Amino acid sequence: MQEICVVGGSRYFGKLLVERLQAAGHTVTVINRGSTPPPQGVVHLVADRNRESALTAAIGSRTFDVVVDQVCYTPVQAAIAARAFRGRTRRFVMTSTIEVYDPATAALSSVPHGTAVPEGIVDPAAWLVRMDLPWRDDAYLEAHYAEGKRQAEAVFARDGGFEFASVRSAHVLGGGAQEFTGRLAHYIEHIALGKEIAVHAEALPTVFIHYEELADLLLWAATATDFTGPINACSDGLLDVRDLASTIASKTGREPVYRTVGSGEPASPFSFDRHYAMSNARAKDLGFFFSRTADWLPGAVAEAIDASATPTV
């Protein structure tokens, strides 16, 4: 059994990860700002990870086999964590995102249209880091979320001083009320009430992952394998926005109403006019087996409907 530290881990799949690490017999430490206590038996360190002195003081003389960072969004945060945990962990796993592949946010190597995007399209070891950008400005960070993740990965890959792996998650669904992004709730409300769903004329498919499967993969990445570098985390099977709406419609008994948007006009969540659906081949080659999105999505939709106050009939 191992000593595992989770930075964040207070909600959704991070909370589930903590529970599963503990259930597997690992000694778990959680570092967060203290607003949400971890389960009984988990060591709780209170610190703002943005303040290096506070983070270092909270860690003290502790050492860990693995650190899983659930809430790293910028190269500044990555540099703070790299210094704080250098010499105190053998392995560091960062939760990243499919958005690092979004061609609208960076000049990336092109792949043939429709090809599942492999990890090598964004190589953190070679990515340019700009610490001088206004990463502490919330509005700037929100607008540059994908770039913040890319640069955070780059800092750990080059300057961490430990084995580093990043888990690039697909769009996460499931968990009913726990699904804090509200994206499924958005569709349930629109379809149940006959409100228009804004979609691109040729909406392209993307990839998804159930929150429980992502927690399982993070557990595996932290404890069951020693791979380094990025790995894509997505269930098998592509879906586009109309596929998602159709699944919801089958549960609500209401047909979706679509409105086609023009170029540059905002669309509903998961309607994409550009391709960056990920390949999960590397994770499979390393021994992780994924479910099919089509198998778990109806249950996730049903959970979301049950958690919603919106009438469905």
Tens place of pLDDT per residue across the chain (313 aa): 899 999 997 788 888 999 999 999 999 999 998 878 888 899 999 999 999 999 999 999 999 999 999 999 999 999 999 999 999 999 999 999 999 999 999 988 877 777 899 999 999 999 999 999 999 999 999 999 999 999 999 999 998 789 999 999 999 998 877 888 888 989 999 999 999 999 999 999 999 999 999 999 999 999 988 899 999 999 999 999 999 999 999 988 899 999 999 887 889 999 999 889 999 999 999 999 999 999 999 999 999 998 876 444 4
Query: Using CA atoms, how far apart are residues 236 and 293, in angstroms rounded to an integer?
Result: 6
- Residue 310 has a pLDDT of 45
Partners of 209 in beta bridges: 172
- Residue 312 has a pLDDT of 43
- Residue 262 has a pLDDT of 85
* Residues near 135 by beta carbon (within 8 Å), at least 6 away in sequence: 74, 75, 76, 77, 141, 148
pLDDT (tens digit per residue) in 92-139 = 999 999 999 999 999 888 777 778 999 999 999 999 999 999 999 999
**Spatial contact of 5 and 89, defined as CB atoms under 8 Å apart:** yes
Provide the whole-model pTM. Answer: 0.94
**Spatial contact of 235 and 290, defined as CB atoms under 8 Å apart:** yes
Pick the CATH number of 3-307 from 3.40.50.150, 3.40.50.720, 3.30.230.10, 3.55.50.30: 3.40.50.720
Domain segments of the chain as ranges: 3-307
DSSP structural state of residue 273 = S
Is 41 exposed, middle or buried, given 0-12, 13-18 or 19+ CB atoms closer than 10 A?
exposed
